[in-house]
Amino acid sequence: MIYVERKRAKFLGLPLSYTKYSISEEKITITSGFLSITEDDTLMYKVQDVRLTRSFMERLFKLGTITCYTGDTTHPKLVLEHIKRSKAIKEFIVNASEEARRKRRALRAQQLEAERLAAAEND
């Protein structure tokens, strides 16, 4: 794990949200819930665009909201709300998604070359 953040909304010192964001070089995982837990993953190579927004209240508390636009079927718009270090995390997601897409293209090119060579041997 590179980053693990929690949604920062509290009432009387108790969390209003039980949402945890785990961000690694390969994927973004959102875990939410208290009694019943839901876990959603989005692979980094599917992230197409990233937006950082900070409302007035978020700026006061040094928080931000990151929106990732993805090619994922379950989460085409992935929102990481009210997190600390939002600027650094946004930059990490942008760089990690570019790197993941580059690696995936290289692997696909190797697969295509292997298939082409195998087809040539069979002829």
The class level of CATH for 3-114 reads mainly beta
Domain boundaries, the chain: 3-114
pLDDT at 103: 87
Which residues 6+ apart lie within 8 Å of 40 measured at CB? 29, 30, 74, 75
pLDDT at 54: 95
The model carries a pTM of: 0.77
Of 69-73, 85-89, 95-99, 112-116, least confident by mean pLDDT is 112-116
Number of other residues whose CB lies within 10 A of the CB of residue 49: 10
